[in-house]
Structure 1
């Protein structure tokens, strides 16, 4: 990455980080573009080089944070060479993401309500860095190495993400109906049943 590109990336990331802090602290509706650029220490015109409006930066922020969370989980997975089964790999990544969320409720509030089809189709295609593979690409690579073939693998992942998103939000933030650690076992059993339903046998 050239110095110019690096500086552009730094400014964009500074705007995203400032927006994240302000959205969490003050709320989306009470945060202005002026607030964001002032916190980032850049000119207002710089904002419009990267984002169309406040809604656009929120959407990019969700994509940015979601990709960071997934890639952190995937990086941890790579340390476990003994986990070679596709389904075990996906469950490891999900478990790691849920643990990240449990340690940072701000991420849950920002991402979890959007952690479904938009996460899979939009944010997963984006990359936080040009040298880092897109999350969707990683998913396809894991799938290609699987010992099973799955019909409609994108629909399968949609079902899984919808379930995990719906279960995790109240569980992590309010421990309802159960704390996260107690709900993991029944949740993962259901996820394994989804995998089985989408396997192509024979």
Structure 2
């Protein structure tokens, strides 16, 4: 699939994987189905790595935790431009949420961390919308910065992205006095 999903055929995929077409269709509807599942899988790995790092960072403030997770995801994508190209602006809150609510490898620890974050998010109006916006800011902002240094290199843009993440959270606080 190095030539992209649109130029890749099912035959290319099954030949590379060493399986029959019937086996492919047993698990996937079409090439876009496997592409979407791989994006979800890679997104889950990004989040899992970020949450693992969070657990060792000993951060107690909720907003600081979310900014830390965002920073970790940005770092991972910066360190792996090929992964960023593959995900290609398709990192979404939906794929991240399903990665932790329906983990493919029975990772209860990841689900537990997500559940704790959800409980802590109760102090925010519409936390699902808040997380959706944060994920989209990260995904769309880092793509051009990492791959093309547009509008600036990711090292220059990252503080602005993380500032936006915090601003989104502040705007969703139920108690605006803190």
Give the TM interval when normalised to the shorter protein.
0.7 to 0.9
Give the CA RMSD over aligned residues.
2.2
What's the CA shift for 1:110? 2.0
CA deviation string 1:72-122 (max 9, x = no partner) = 1111211122x1111111111111111111121121122241123443454
Contact 2:100–2:114 (8 Å) recurs in 1 = no
CA distance in 2, matches of 1:78, 1:117: 21
Aligned to 2:91: 115
Aligned equivalent of 1:127, options 68, 88, 103 = 103
Unaligned runs of 5+ in 2: none
TM-score (norm 1): 0.78
1:6-85 matched pairs, under 5 angstroms: 22=1, 25-81=2-58, 83-85=59-61
Unaligned runs of 5+ in 1: 1-21
Aligned length, in residue pairs: 176
Aligned to 1:188: 162
| Greater relative contact order, per chain length (Cα 8 Å cut-off, separation 6+) | 2
Aligned to 1:157: 131
Contact 2:40–2:96 (8 Å) recurs in 1 = no
Contact 2:5–2:32 (8 Å) recurs in 1 = no
What's the CA shift for 1:42? 1.9
Aligned to 1:15: none
CA distance in 2, matches of 1:121, 1:80: 22
1:78-97 matched pairs, under 5 angstroms: 78-81=55-58, 83-97=59-73
CA distance in 2, matches of 1:120, 1:137: 14
CA distance in 2, matches of 1:95, 1:55: 29
| CA pair 134-151 structure 1, distance change in 2 beyond 3 A | farther
| CA pair 137-62 structure 1, distance change in 2 beyond 3 A | farther
Contact 1:116–1:165 (8 Å) recurs in 2 = yes
CA distance in 2, matches of 1:103, 1:58: 22
CA distance in 2, matches of 1:167, 1:179: 11
